[in-house]
Amino acid sequence: RRIAEADSVAVIGLGRFGRSLALELMAGGTEVLGVDIRDDNVQSLNGQLTQVVRADPTKPEVLRQLSIDQFDRVVVAIGGNLEASILTSSALLAMGLPSIWAKADSAEHAVILEQLGVHHVVQPESDMGRKVAHLVRGAALDYIEIERGYAIVKSAPPERLWGIPLGKTGLRKEFGVTIAAFKKPGADWTNADAETVLGADDTILIVGPTRKAEGFAQLR
């Protein structure tokens, strides 16, 4: 079956990164065309993606045969092979695809992809390294930096918040952070408001400037 719908995604390169991306998209109900030059990568995903094809994506005629131009979103998940990543990205850009994502394995690789005009360049290894640094250093249970300097931190609430409605804690004024959501043991995540009262066993999401949000997560 050919898939070429607006809501589908083509993933080119089915190594560890491309594979995990493709399977997560499938799990969320998105149709996925997977492409890889290696037969073993294609075989191992057979039946798990909407369609998996063994082909060389660096060749524009191959991309045309696969009707890649019908996809709104394409991910070039070839990191290790710089030449293949550049050739594939360049061919996709020449086809006028509106949303091309590409994985870079180094800062230099990322610069080249950006210079080509790739719309979204990701560097999973350096991004994850930075994230883990924040987890290792602090009290955060999880950490997402939305952009440089602004973050969401998951942590336990410091003792000074226990038993007091958030609106009465002076949190924003004193610490420059917002508590966006909380989770009581065994319950679902809930949006926090001024009436929210936290306890020692709860988990919270702190939103704010990175240093302030991390500093607040560090309080006991």
Q: How many residues bind ligand ADP (CB under 6 A)?
A: 19
41 binds ligand ADP (CB under 6 A): yes
Phi, psi of 166 (to 5 degrees): -55, -35
Q: Contact at 8 Å (CB) between 10 and 33? A: yes
CB of 12 to ligand ADP, least distance (A): 6
13 binds ligand ADP (CB under 6 A): yes
Cα-trace Rg, the chain: 22
37 binds ligand ADP (CB under 6 A): yes
Q: Contact at 8 Å (CB) between 38 and 56? A: no
Alpha-helical runs (H) found in the chain: 16-27, 39-45, 60-65, 82-94, 107-116, 124-137, 171-175, 210-218
Give the CB-nearest residue to ligand ADP.
15
Q: Which is nearer to ligand ADP, 59 or 211 (CB)?
A: 59
Q: Contact at 8 Å (CB) between 103 and 122? A: yes
How far apart (Å, rounded) are the C-alpha atoms in residues 90 and 98? 13
Question: Is 38 strand, coil or helix?
Answer: coil
34 binds ligand ADP (CB under 6 A): no
33 binds ligand ADP (CB under 6 A): no
Amino acid at 189: W
Site string for ligand ADP, 112-141 (x = CB under 6 A): ------------------------------
CB of 116 to ligand ADP, least distance (A): 16
Among 7, 24, 38, 189, binds ligand ADP (CB under 6 A): 38
Q: Which is nearer to ligand ADP, 16 or 172 (CB)?
A: 16
The tokens for 144 are: 């997402």
The tokens for 85 are: 């990543």
Site for ligand ADP in 140-179 (CB under 6 A): none
How far apart (Å, rounded) are the C-alpha atoms in residues 172 and 93? 45
110 binds ligand ADP (CB under 6 A): no
Site for ligand ADP in 67-86 (CB under 6 A): 77-81, 84
